[in-house]
Chains A and B, each alone.
Chain A
Amino acid sequence: MARKRPEPVQVVKQRRDAALNALVEGVPYIRFLGINFDRRGDELTGVLNFDEKLIGNPLLPALHGGVTAAFLEVTAVITLSWEKMFPKIESGEIDADDILSDDSIRFPKTIDFTVDYLRSGLPRDAYARAFINRSGRRYASVRVEAWQDNHARLFAQGTGHFLMPQNPEPKG
């Protein structure tokens, strides 16, 4: 049997980018911090675009520790949601418009989050990537690392636990 002809690249990119945008743009706090996501295939990198309002120590100056924590947590939640949703986005079961309008699509909830501050955050852009240690039916464990100029010199890393959205039990 002949293999199905692959979709044109623009169709694939448009579908994935639209879904990712819906996931990110709908959250006011992500816009407030100036975070966006770079996508390569299914791999995401969070980008924290530097702004003066992210400063926590004006003398050094350095990024606010709370901003660093929030950036790591946002990257963890978006990556976890994205990986869970990705097969359904690819199959066409979910499209970008559903992500914010469909009430049955829920997001993971943070149970706890721990941040290691390795060096002070410089007043420039920062990047973060999340790795899913384990994602089960109810709980997930995620590790996140963040860097600025040099990926080998992390300025912070974090680990968090998340409660996965539960599908309502079918009645009967």
Chain B
Amino acid sequence: MVNKTELARQFIEAIPHSRALGLTLTHIGEGEAEISMPYNQQLIGDPRTGVIHGGAVSAILDTCCGAAVMSHPSAPGATATIDLRIDYMRAATPGQSIKTRATCYHITRNVAFVRATATDDDADHPVATASGAFTVEGR
């Protein structure tokens, strides 16, 4: 039997921008995904503190949300972002990787609704949260 996690990992890691960010898919479930991004000096937003730029956090959250949609049993194929809102709670601690977890909590024939959270080593205090709507393609 084909390992679904392995297949999803290969798919996510084949996306050029995911590779540029060094993203690793660590878990895929039914409408759930977890992706992690190692600390990288190229992604620094504030050179004085070494904190990762919010834009890079948006990119990993967007990828994680998309992966959660594609892993949903009712989603037949690809997806694209319709809208995504990111709330930034605090700066990510420099030197730590960022882990994201997304859940596709509702899906219709055309639209998937997703929520996601990004954390660093301090998993109790989120760095950012996201909520968005995604297309459901390939029906």
- Residues A67-120 near B (CB distance < 8 A): 67, 69-71, 73-74, 100, 103, 107, 109-117, 120
Of A49-57, A127-135, A138-146, which stretch is located at the interface? A49-57
Proximity string of chain A (27-58) to chain B, C-beta cutoff 8 Å, 1 when within and 0 when not: 11111110000000000000000001111111
Proximity string of chain B (83-108) to chain A, C-beta cutoff 8 Å, 1 when within and 0 when not: 11111100000000000000000000
Check B47 against A110 for contact (C-beta < 8 Å). Answer: no
> Which residues of A are found within 8 Å of B84, using beta-carbon distances?
65, 69, 114-115, 117
A66 CB, min distance to chain B CBs, angstroms: 3
Task: Give the docked Cα–Cα distance between A52 and B52 (Å).
Answer: 22
> Interface size for chain A: under 10, 10 to 19, 20 to 34, or 35 or more residues?
35 or more
Task: Give the docked Cα–Cα distance between A167 and B6 (Å).
Answer: 51
Which residue of B20, B41, B82, B86 is within 8 Å of A28 (Cβ)? B41
Which residue of A53, A59, A113 is within 8 Å of B17 (Cβ)? A53
17 of the cross-chain contacts (CB-CB < 8 Å) are A27-B53, A28-B42, A29-B42, A29-B43, A29-B52, A56-B63, A64-B16, A64-B59, A66-B62, A66-B63, A70-B54, A74-B55, A110-B54, A110-B86, A112-B88, A113-B58, A117-B84
Besides A29-B42, A53-B17, A70-B54, 6 other A-B contacts (C-beta < 8 A) = A64-B15, A66-B61, A67-B59, A69-B58, A103-B48, A115-B83
